[in-house]
Structure 1
Amino acid sequence: MANPTFWVGVAFVIFFGLLFYYGVPGNVMNQLDSRGKRIADELAEAQRLRQDAEKLLKEFEAKRAAAEREAAEIVSSAKEEAERMAREAQEKMADFVTRRTASAEAKIAQAEAQAAAEVRAAAIDAAVKASERVLRQEITGNTAASLVSQGLNDVRSKLQ
């Protein structure tokens, strides 16, 4: 009994006996179990949150892809609309130029006809005056005056 190792062993057994008597190992195990359960719950919650985040990420990626498709469709339709409007503007411009050209050609033709008529009338007047002068110098008297007047009237009516 004088051996110190014996007393250390007895103290050790008494210490563990007291620990078991007061339920320390059970409390420690309960605390470890509750902490393990809490950690497992936190891990499960983290896993659930991760799945939710992945789900949201997939939804946002799908929405982004849909928005990009919609934007591409809008750009495409805007390009088509701009091209259509450009074609319409070109067609309208070509139609306008055609109408203006036709109008100008008609005015030119009318001016040419009017000029030709004026030239013809001036030539007729000049021919009549020249004929009148020549006949007045050649024929004299009342017969001459009536012949000249009648001839001039005939020339005027035939030339016009």
Structure 2
Amino acid sequence: MGKIRHKVFISYHHEDQEEVDQFIKTFDDERDVFIRRGLGLSMEDDIVKSDDTDYVMRRIRELYLKDSTVTIVLLGKCTWARKYVDWEIQSSLRQGETVTPNGLLGIKLPSYNNNGYPNRLNLNLLNEGESDCYARVKEYPSRKDSLSNWIDDAFDARTNRKSLINNPRDRFKNNRSC
């Protein structure tokens, strides 16, 4: 029996589409590391018309994250500046009596240029004086077993590190300039 393939939501900036497509082709289509969720859907057409951000957040979860268990943020040079990435991460981290958060994993795309991470991802990484954190950021994987182990760790964090989630209510209203 092989490893469990988790259902993964991919969050990214659309300017990185070519690298994102290559990541999915390599690790989902060819190497069967995960089962992707949410790609190929035009989110903006469906939900951007609302100024009610709570409604937008609920729709992101209902339509795009609903049966995923791990969110991978693919980090390019301007990913940190995108409001939908912030919203997708915030929605991924929501938790409650009937809502289990997604695991959270950042992966640096080849074009990543050390411009930083989305702030909400950053808030869930290890800070000075802390012994652990909810999320992890990794270099672009060269092996499928490495990526599979990282996804497993993010999945396990949903139960064994969920108390470390930092998910403030405020969110981006607009994209930032990169």
More strand by share: 2
Q: Which has the higher contact order (CA 8 A, sep 6+)?
A: 2
Q: Please, what TM-score do these two structures have when normalized by structure 2?
A: 0.18
TM-score where L is the length of structure 1: 0.20
Bigger fraction of residues in helix: 1
Larger Rg: 1
